[in-house]
Chains A and B, each alone.
Chain A
Amino acid sequence: MSEPMIEVRHLTKRYAGCTAVADVSFTVAPGEVVGFLGPNGAGKTTTLRMLACYLPASEGEARVAGFDVFRHSLEVRRRIGYLPESTPLYPELRVDEYLNYRAQLKGVPGRRRRQRVSEVKELCGLADVGRRIIGQLSKGYRQRVGLADALVHDPELVILDEPTIGLDPNQIRHVRDLIKSLASRHTVLLSTHILAEVELTCQRVLIIDRGRIVASDTPDKLRARLQGGREVVVEIHAPPPEAAQRLAALPGVARMAADAAGAWTQFRLECSGSEDIRPLVFEAAVQHGWHLRELRQEKQSLEDIFAALTRGEQEMP
């Protein structure tokens, strides 16, 4: 197992009067594309800024490629390409001038600079706007210039803060494809508040809310757990221990909760598979002569789960 690209341990950032990031820990392996998902104000930007050495942590530590972001800040900064949230650029410069300047500043040696600049321009679809002045470019093109800047020194780790915000659907698709194409050569950590985005681009998702990580998984598993993890609600008139046993033994039931109210018992069956278990429940009821009063599936969209996950956290003290 190689050394993790990002290693964050108990990272905390407190501003006067509020905690933006609270005890966050995670690791990212080299070559991974990880999405940082959370509602606005969840602490995504603050965490990314700490990783990019722009802000210091109040507590805890973060390492990038084995270097501490606070003590070996310059080493870390040499290895990351960071695109801040609002894509700040110098509007008075031309695209070529800007990328050249940034490549120089990031220490791309002279002979490779011209090549790297034209490579990232090609990659980001900027080949024919090199002579244009940045201030006159559309938002989409400016975003691409920011991306090109983040990539120009061929960094090991690319940190993108809301890379598709403010773009039109075509541009969003282009940027997503671009991010996916980075995966072979770079480690990517990107933040977003759009669920579909992480599903499309990321191998792993970290859900953050109110400064805490509330979930970390692959999009598929997360979906299985969230969307596929449907709940079937069954209400039957039957001796509870026996019914519970039989229901729990049904294929595809991951967990079960029983709630008895008089003679009737309500079971909530959490399903892990994608198969619908309602016919099985019905057959079981017929077979054992249970009275069946309710049989329905509660479907949760990814949005619902996301909302549930993040809202649930808010209610905690």
Chain B
Amino acid sequence: MRAFFILWKRELTTYFYSPIAYVMMIFFLIIMGFSFWLLANVLAQGAPGVSVMRELFDSLFFWMTTLTLAPVLTMRLFAEEKRSGTIETLMTAPVSDPAVVLAKYFGALSFYGLIWAPTLVYVVILRMFSPLAAPPDPGPIVCGYLGALLIGAFYLAIGLFCSALTRNQIVAAIVAFALVCVAFFSGFLSFMVREEAARNVAQYVSSLAHMRDFARGVVDTRPVVFHLTGTALMLFATVKVIEARKWK
């Protein structure tokens, strides 16, 4: 546990040593800022108050950033340690494999949270200057953030797993991007296949549908459980990949 916090702190601070983190942060804030501008526009036109948070949490921009953020934030985690050989000093220190995996994962998740944090300003602005009769309901806002966190948690775990597979950051990022795209686009199968069962399955795993619900303020336990178990599965797989060098 002690080792976990030391490693977690190191992982989180390492983001601030690299330009990639700042670039991603700026990229994210520009896109989310544009997204917020659109939302403000919709409100300014006096749109009915239905789920305005969809502009923020269920837009093309949201998906564009989330799908690219996860691979970029996680590609370095194990691949770089393997490439530079520091994995050897790390794994010969008295720390357990799960502690290393979890520290790297929560380091990435914390940074993901930090990237999202500035968008809380939008909420403050909305509540202060909302043209609606009543300020926007806090429900969809909280749910929107919850959804962003859950989906981010799952995608970052996928990214971490990919990083553990290779010593090349670019390969890790590409494989992770492919996998999160599979997770994302599998939702579209429900529009393409005729088979009833397949459509149902696609509906259940569709990140898009989940996020739409969250942005409306609906918390269904099914997507929550889906993302948490998906995250746990990917982390478990990552631990196994790291342990694999110890298999005889």
Contacts and interface: CB of A to CB of B under 8 A. Distances in A.
Interface string A84-97: 10101111110000
Interface in A55-103: 55-58, 70, 74, 77-78, 80, 82, 84, 86, 88-93, 101-102
Interface residues of A, number: 29
A82 B94 contact: no
Contact of B88 (A80, A84, A91, A106): A84
19 contacts: A49-B88, A53-B91, A53-B92, A54-B91, A54-B92, A55-B245, A56-B245, A58-B248, A74-B96, A77-B92, A80-B92, A82-B92, A88-B84, A88-B88, A91-B84, A93-B17, A105-B95, A106-B93, A149-B89
Top 10 closest pairs, chain A to chain B, by CB: A88-B85, A92-B17, A88-B86, A77-B94, A84-B88, A78-B94, A52-B92, A56-B246, A82-B92, A104-B6
B222 interface: no
Contacts of B87: 88
Contacts, number: 65
Q: Is the interface of B mostly helix, strand, loop or mixed?
A: helix
Contacts of A104: 6
Interface string A35-63: 00000000000000100111111100000
B47 interface: no
B248 A54 contact: no
Interface in B60-112: 84-89, 91-96
Q: How large is the interface on B (under 10, 10 to 19, 20 to 34, 35 or more residues)?
A: 20 to 34
A92 B89 contact: no
Interface in A104-133: 104-107
B194 interface: no
Contacts of B95: 105
B247 interface: yes
A58 B245 CA distance: 12
Interface in B1-55: 2-3, 6-7, 10, 14, 17-18
Given A77-B94, A78-B94, A86 B85 contact: yes
Interface in B87-145: 87-89, 91-96
Contacts of A88: 84-89
B10 A101 contact: yes
